[in-house]
A and B are shown apart, each in its own frame.
Chain A
Amino acid sequence: MNKKFYKEIGAGVKLLCVNSEKFKTNCIHVDFYLPIGEFLAAQNVLSSLMGHTSKKYNSFKKFNAKVESLYGADFDSSIATVGEKVKMKFAIEVPDDRFSLDGESISESAVDFLVEILSNPNAENGAFDEENTAREIRFTLENLDAEKNDKRSYAISRLRQLMCQNEPYGIDREKLYNDVKNLDSKALFKAYENILKTATIVITACGTLKAEMLEEKFSAFAEKIQGREIASLDTIYVESADEIRYFTEKMDITQAKLVMGLRTGMKDADDNYFAYRVMTDVFGGGPYSRLFMNVREKLSLCYYCNSRLIRDKGIIFIQSGIENENYEKAKNEIFNQLEVMKKGEFTDEDFTSSITALCDAFKGVGDSPAAVCTFYGSQALDDCVIDGSEYAKLISQVTREQVTECAKKVTVDTVYLLTGEEKGNE
């Protein structure tokens, strides 16, 4: 039904376009992938700065007026880590050309806008605009500070730092904060040039827009970058933990957050991925999972308790919000359920429920343009492009035995508790 166009249009520049008539919009994502490294602070600032101003649209107001003139486009620039890669994303979604009020091709204008802001940032003579730089550094620092406002993600962030302190994945937030603070407009520009030169660039689009138009415009963009030298994107997979490390930190909060980090035994992102995916889901995915059924429903200890697989790092995170005094009970029950997984004592029903739910979810992935771009974007990075139903098929081929084998390789690395008060005996 959908036509897929996939091509490497330049060294380390990949273009994937999925054509579909069924949507009301066109969506384009441009992702820049680099290893976590010396430019991390600059990448954080640039992701904000380049999403707020450019040379042509040199104020917040002008920039957003342009976005609004594209029929209220959804524009978003963001930064995230994918394993030990940093992904800077610039995304735009606009109404399809058939809704244009004056014959303008909205999608082509949207692509031109993306190319414009990526090629011509708000800089001159090797430095970003001073006032702008100062403002964006302020936003970035406030944003890093605000991490503690959301206790759930703060707990995971602390866990990650403590668990992976000797791996790039365990980003030292304090160092990052200071690095951002010490940036200046020149260093920022140097980082910008470096990103263009060394990043693997993945462009994904979905809707009615033409692959040829995208190829032409983004090839021209890539050709202008001098001396492209693609940085390799490797991630350290620590296969197992020697012993469990425990950490407790205090904050003035009502509900304690109990989070855990597990090593899966995966050697890379493709090592038994589908079996690990199912295993994590049986363990703590949907409401049919072991953690939900036992920690929440049976013992009434929490509102949420779940696990999620970080494929690109070979880690599983477990998270839960609990009453402080229930720490031991909750921790023991989570350990207990992990043992159930390792011994293969989960029921056939647990297993089939998970397979059925995962397959169902993957089959529906093609029903939103943004989801299509995200789904294929991460695959295009690895030059392997399969659709949702093929994904579902691979999930459905996973066996109970494979799930148990995966669970056996899992080791608990770190247990982290964010608590409001003194905790009982440990």
Chain B
Amino acid sequence: MNNIKEIKNEMLGERYYEIDHKSGLKIFVYPKENYASTYAIFGTKYGSIDTCFKLEGENEFTEVPEGIAHFLEHKLFESEELDAFARYAKTGASANAYTSFDKTCYLFQCSDNLEDSLEILLDFVQNPYFTEKTVQKEQGIIGQEINMYQDEPGWRSHFELLRALYHKHPVRIDIAGTVESISHITADLLYECYETFYNPANMALAVAGNVTVEQVLNMADKMIKPKECKKIERKFQIEPAEVVADKVEHKLSVAMPIFAIGFKEDIKTPERTLKESLESTLLLDIIAGKTSDLYEELLSEGLINTTFDAEFFEGYGYSAHLFNGESNDYDKVRERITAELRRVMNEGIDRETFDRIKKKHYGSFIMNFNDVDSLANSLVGEYFNGDGLFDQLSVLESITVEDVENRLRSAINLENSAMSVILPN
């Protein structure tokens, strides 16, 4: 039997349905009244960081080449007959897929023929077909994708920073791997990864927009193949608390130096709670957002431009507070950020600022509920993190200025940061 639960939020006037499908698959259906389009996403909790794993009962861990999750994403679109794109071409849906550090997702958006497109999605993701020849063909295409990113300074500075922050954690490797690492990928290895991670129990389906629960369940009942559910064990090497390098520099064709600064959190447990994540987001907005003193000062002194921003970066086994921007005097920017963090650690956060930033995030939260794509993506993302879609609001409400101050003092160690700079060549 499929167990259906209605999840409501009175303030927003919104609701969606969470379904435990009999196959073990978690399904979310989010009907949006008067919407013409629908967005569907079928994802597995399997990303670029899952490079060493075994199934329950197996003796040995399997280590696979870097970039294989992303490679698999490309290859799943192919089948012995029509590939998935050719099938979607008949329904008119706009389809795509992406791989991140911790998940791989297949998606489409459509206005017509929802059921046909949903059938295609559920079918091709569950039916892998690889041969050595098709694997080889993809190495050329993905090789070009990797090279494209090599020339993107923002991307490069981000990954070079991760390599300066992390010794062992696979977050330090590029999501698509390298031209060298993907040359070791074979059809057999792809099947092995597929069999491990593409199991309904490790996956989720979310459909938002012009859709009903019945439509999705009918299709899931017809299409989802039950599989024996085995527990996946992932192996991560122990990550030292310290950063790898204080500063790394690389050269590219850029107009002005591009920097990324990261403060590595010394974590005792692999995952941050939703509350900790939100505290960090508020904190960074207070310290370095567009209404912060730091931002205004750095701008007027000519040390940064409006590309400057900060983000909280976390996932299984890693957590860091990041600052990115362009500057000719990036060392000075780093000093000033560090000094400002120190000042706030000592003096605390101004309450008025805290209230304004909190109100801003209340508004931003509400604004996420317009777009079917962001709803479906968030449903899957939050589920893999162990949270519900509406949880953010109540957690946000519960956060106090003291919580954010404590988060600053516990999560940021001023002595443990790294900087990556992309210099003009």
Residues of A whose CB lies within 8 Å of any CB of B are 1, 20-25, 48, 52, 59-61, 64-65, 67-74, 93-96, 99, 101, 131, 135, 138-139, 142-143, 145-151, 251-255, 286-288, 296-297, 300-304, 321-323, 349, 353, 356-357, 359-361, 363-364, 366-369, 388-389
Contact = CB atoms under 8 A, between A and B. Distances in A.
B305 A95 contact: no
Interface in B108-135: 109-113
Contact of B366 (A61, A95, A253): A95
A138 to B, nearest CB: 7
Contacts of A369: 370
A94 B360 CA distance: 10
B369 A24 contact: yes
Interface string B353-384: 00011011111101101111000000000000
Given A64-B290, A360-B113, 9 more contacts: A24-B12, A68-B291, A69-B359, A72-B363, A142-B305, A288-B85, A302-B144, A356-B91, A367-B371
A60 to B, nearest CB: 5
B425 A252 contact: yes
B361 to A, nearest CB: 6
A303 B356 contact: no
Nearest to B12: A24
B386 interface: no
Contacts of A361: 94, 111
Interface string B76-113: 00000000011011111111000000000000011111
B218 interface: no
B137 interface: yes
A65 B360 CA distance: 10
Interface stretch (B222-230, B240-248, B249-257, B334-342): B249-257
B252 A252 contact: yes
Contact of A356 (B92, B138, B209): B92
Given A149-B254, A356-B91, A356-B92, A71 B366 contact: yes
A147 B254 CA distance: 9
Contacts of A286: 85, 89, 94
Given A142-B255, A148-B254, A357-B89, A20 B367 contact: no
A71 B362 contact: yes
A1 B144 contact: no
B32 interface: yes
A424 B142 CA distance: 24
Q: Which of B93, B148, B293, B362 has the most CB of A within 10 A?
A: B148
Given A300-B140, A303-B145, A72 B367 contact: yes
B370 A363 contact: no
B326 interface: yes
Nearest to A355: B92
7 interchain residue pairs of minimum CB distance: A71-B363, A364-B37, A72-B360, A72-B363, A360-B92, A300-B140, A145-B255
Contacts, number: 196
A361 B363 CA distance: 29
Contacts of B425: 252
A251 B85 contact: no
Contacts of A322: 144
Given A356-B92, A366-B36, A301 B151 contact: no
Interface stretch (B162-170, B197-205, B294-302, B309-317): B294-302
Contact of A253 (B88, B140, B145, B253): B253
Given A71-B362, A255-B150, A22 B34 contact: yes
A60 B363 contact: no
15 contacts: A22-B32, A71-B363, A95-B363, A99-B363, A101-B359, A101-B362, A146-B326, A149-B153, A254-B147, A300-B140, A300-B141, A303-B141, A323-B147, A363-B36, A369-B370
Nearest to B145: A303
B152 interface: yes
A44 to B, nearest CB: 14
Nearest to B176: A303
Given A65-B356, A68-B360, A255-B148, A353 B90 contact: yes
A148 B326 CA distance: 14
Nearest to A74: B367
A356 B197 CA distance: 34
Nearest to A298: B137
Contacts of B252: 252
Q: In the complex, which range does the number of interface residues on chain B fall in?
A: 35 or more
Given A72-B367, A255-B147, A255-B151, A357 B362 contact: no
Interface in B4-55: 11-12, 32-37
B140 A301 contact: yes
Contacts of A364: 36-37, 109-111
B141 A22 contact: no
Nearest to B111: A363
Contacts of B32: 22
A356 B93 CA distance: 8
Contacts of B253: 148-149, 151, 251-253
B366 A99 contact: yes
A253 B290 contact: no
A28 to B, nearest CB: 14
A388 B36 CA distance: 10
Contact of A60 (B88, B110, B148, B290): B290
A48 B299 CA distance: 14
A389 B152 CA distance: 38
B148 A146 contact: no
B306 interface: yes
Nearest to A52: B306
Contacts of A297: 141
A321 B147 contact: yes
Nearest to A363: B111
B43 to A, nearest CB: 20
Contacts of B110: 360, 364
Contact of B361 (A72, A94, A143): A72
A286 to B, nearest CB: 7
A95 B90 contact: no
Nearest to A286: B94
Contacts of B258: 149
B109 to A, nearest CB: 7
B370 A24 contact: yes
Contacts of A287: 85, 88-89, 95
A302 B138 CA distance: 10
Given A135-B300, A364-B111, A1 B141 contact: no
A147 B145 CA distance: 21
B373 to A, nearest CB: 9
B38 to A, nearest CB: 9
Contacts of B360: 68, 71-72
Contacts of B148: 255, 303-304, 321
A255 to B, nearest CB: 4
Q: Which of B140, B145, B425 has the most CB of A within 10 A?
A: B140
Q: Which of A61, A67, A93 has the most CB of B within 10 A?
A: A61
Contact of A367 (B36, B95, B363): B36
Contacts of B113: 360
A153 to B, nearest CB: 11
A356 B117 CA distance: 13
A23 B13 CA distance: 11
Contacts of B92: 356-357, 359-360
Contacts of B86: 288
